[in-house]
Amino acid sequence: MIIPTASLGHDGPQLPRLGLGLAALGRPGYINLGHENDFAEGYVIEAMERRTHRMLDMAYASGMRYFDVARSYGRAEQFMQSWLEVNQPDDVYVGSKWGYTYTADWQVEAERHEVKEHSLTKLNQQWAESKVLLPYLKLYQIHSATLESGVLDNEAVLERLGELKASGLKIGLSLSGVHQYDTLARAMLIRWEGAYLFDVVQVTYNILEPSMGNILQQAVDSGMGVIVKEALANGRLTMRNHDPAFAKTKETLTQIARAHQCGMDAVALAFVLAQPWANMVLSGAAVETHLEANLAAARIVLTGDEMEQLAQFALTTEQYWQDRSRLAWN
């Protein structure tokens, strides 16, 4: 599989534009639709580590080189590390995130699955845990930065991130929620030693939630790299979505998929890959068949008419995030 490449930022690496995120692989529970059907081997740690390794094997063999983890993705960092130790690739680029702590204790149902804390203490603690992924760890991101958390005004945190940047790491932030736009606008103003502090931003963008397009082009023009997460809207842009309100979107996706001889998930990913600012788009696949289907997006070129048909299904930002908040951990 030949995946087109792009530079992740003006001075970033040239990488294949499809990467693999391990949010659904590092822990038993996640909010993706139908996730409960993805682990026939069970949820014991050893079985899930083997599955993650198989997914990484397949992703790497297919041409992917960027892998995305986080401290709060259960054991995703540990699974990533054990795969790297066995395979020792010389061309893998790993991104991780700090700011959330995994609290579900390997349970699917929990009072809280993760707890957010954007303090200097948490940054230092989680960096000490994440840095075992060096030298493959190249990008360290604030996990779901928001204006409300105050992290972008915390001088001690920003100074520490600057120190990590000076050591050779790229520094980024991931965004989530209704105020992604405002948070990115604020982050783009932050400078450290005469340069922009943040090298990369990771955002939610998809057919249903395309509101970030204009500012992401501005971010790329300013030199930032852009990583897109949740391009399939946590499964809501797949055949697993049986909501009657999704019927028209599903019908259109299916028709376009038939024309390109692929699945509707590949069409949804191709819609994002068609955006000129989308340097990297993550697959969140948890099983091999889904990853294989996602990879078909690399060969699809949607027509202008098809792009327009899909663009009509955009929700308001408020509606999108309200719907997402109702997704159950499963």
CATH 3.20.20.140, applies to 5-325? no
Task: Look at residue 329 in the predicted model and tell me its pLDDT.
Answer: 79
Task: Look at residue 5 in the predicted model and tell me its pLDDT.
Answer: 97
**For 186-207, what is the mean pLDDT?**
96
pLDDT single digits (tens) 204-263:
999 999 999 999 999 999 999 999 999 999 999 999 999 999 999 999 999 999 999 999
80 pLDDT above the threshold of 80 = yes
Task: Look at residue 126 in the predicted model and tell me its pLDDT.
Answer: 98
110 pLDDT above the threshold of 80 = no
Rounded Cα distance, 243 and 254, in Å? 15
**For 22-41, what is the mean pLDDT?**
86
Helix (H, G, I), strand (E, B) or coil at 229: strand
Q: How confident is the model at residue 170 (pLDDT cuts 50, 70, 90)?
A: very high
Q: How confident is the model at residue 29 (pLDDT cuts 50, 70, 90)?
A: confident
Judged by average pLDDT, the poorest of 32-46, 178-192, 200-214 is 32-46
pTM over 0.95: yes
Other CB atoms within a 10 A radius of the CB of residue 25 amount to 29
pLDDT single digits (tens) 278-321:
999 999 999 999 999 999 999 999 999 999 999 999 999 999 99
φ, ψ of residue 145 in degrees (nearest 5): -65, 140
Contacts of 67 (CB under 8 A, 6+ apart): 19, 20, 21, 22, 56, 59, 80, 92, 93, 94, 95
Compute the CA torsion angle 216, 218, 224, 229 (nearest 10 deg).
0
Task: Look at residue 105 in the predicted model and tell me its pLDDT.
Answer: 67
Q: H or E element: which one contains 272?
A: helix 264-273
Please report, rounded to a whole number, the percentage of residues in the chain having pLDDT higher than 70: 98
Rounded Cα distance, 144 and 24, in Å? 17
| Domain extent listing, the chain | 5-325
CA distances, 235 to each of 61, 100, 291 (Å): 24, 23, 13
Tokens coding 36: 């409960």
pLDDT single digits (tens) 269-278:
999 999 999 9
**For 65-77, what is the mean pLDDT?**
96
